[in-house]
A = this chain, B = another copy of it.
Amino acid sequence: MPVKPPSDSTGERRGTSYDVARLAGVSQSAVSRCFREGGSVSPATRKRIMAAAEALGYRPNAIAQGLITRRSNMVAVVISNLTNLHYPEVLAELTTRLSNRGIRVLLFTLQNESEIDAVMDQIWRYQVDGAIVAARLSRDQAEVFARSRIPLVLYNRQMEEAPVSSVMCESGAGEAMLVDGMIAAGARAFGLIAGPGDSTVGEARVRAAVERLAQAGLRDVPVDRGDFSYQSGYDAALRLMKAAPLDAIIAANDVMAIGAMDAVRIECSLAVPDRVSVVGFDGVAPARWASYRLTTVRQPVGRMTEAAVSMLMDRIEDASIGPERRLFSGDLLRGASARLA
């Protein structure tokens, strides 16, 4: 990479601990100690050093610190599609919480899953202290983290066969509440809108709903598939309704549910929830908008992100801590898009 020419014309280099030391008339290591936690420095010299540092606008160089400490105080956050409406909230919470603990976020967003390898390369090069991944990870890729000794926490992803730490929002209880409520209110003709087949959470939600429906004696429920987007939910709902009239639609996430509501109400001209109930999963902000008032299961994003961060930090502090999975349950958000008993 092209190196910038050293201090062209007026370009003064940024002050180092050495400059501060000279100005304060002490050794460089005194300055270093002054900026660390348990540094033993006499109040008098500390004062002098701080004054000198202030005068020079000195701040310890985190890059140099990282090189010698082997702690970059950076954590990689990998998110697949930021446009998914639920993730921005997750990302904001993660960033805030990490920041509160003095950790910086190195952000990686993926368009295609294939980019993950390039990302892992960068993660490795940047000596991040750990990684939180909200994207599909193959078993091999998870292994790389393990071999590299980079603590890893998956967010709403699961690694069935490998022992990897993760936090998830469990789908069973939530879907059961939705299904039970709708059945009790008289719904019988159900339809499902699944997410992309490679989404573990999406599949888990659909599976949970299907199982609960089966327990209630409802089998062979039609399932269509979307990609978690509004349009895909809209289209899937239309296909389902065309194939057979339904009185309840369960979508794998809120945005598709919203799309389904619009399709049912606007294109099919059927009242929601009077003729058709629609439910989702996530609890994104638009689900509460007055035009939708979606009945859904809200993920406890605050507790989940806090869990992810603290699990990661624990494993950064002590690399010997083994993997752990934490499962959270969602809260039923009683909107007005489904008849629930």
A18 at the B interface (CB under 8 A): no
List 24 A-B residue pairs with CB atoms under 8 Å apart, sorted by A's residue number.
A1-B65, A4-B71, A4-B319, A8-B319, A11-B149, A61-B125, A61-B127, A62-B127, A63-B66, A64-B67, A77-B107, A83-B89, A83-B92, A88-B91, A91-B107, A95-B109, A96-B109, A99-B108, A105-B108, A106-B106, A234-B290, A262-B290, A266-B291, A267-B290
Given known A-B contacts A63-B127, A108-B95, A127-B62, A69 and B289 have beta carbons under 8 A apart? no
Which residues from 63 to 88 on chain A have a C-beta closer than 8 Å to any C-beta of chain B? 63-67, 69-74, 77, 81-83, 85, 87-88
Which residues from 36 to 64 on chain A have a C-beta closer than 8 Å to any C-beta of chain B? 36-37, 57, 59-64
Binary B-proximity of A83-126 (CB < 8 A = 1, otherwise 0): 10101110110011001000011111101000000000110111
Is A59's CB under 8 angstroms from B262's CB? no
Residues of the B chain whose Cβ atoms lie less than 8 Å from the Cβ of A67: 61, 63-64, 67
Number of interface residues of A (CB under 8 A): 74
A286 at the B interface (CB under 8 A): yes
A148 at the B interface (CB under 8 A): yes
Residues of the B chain whose Cβ atoms lie less than 8 Å from the Cβ of A64: 67
Interchain CB contact (< 8 A) of A4 among B70, B92, B267: B70
Compute how far the CA of A125 lies from the CA of B77 in the bound complex, rounded to whole angstroms.
20
Interchain CB contact (< 8 A) of A60 among B37, B71, B89, B125: B125
Q: How far is the CB of A34 from chain B (nearest CB, A)?
A: 14
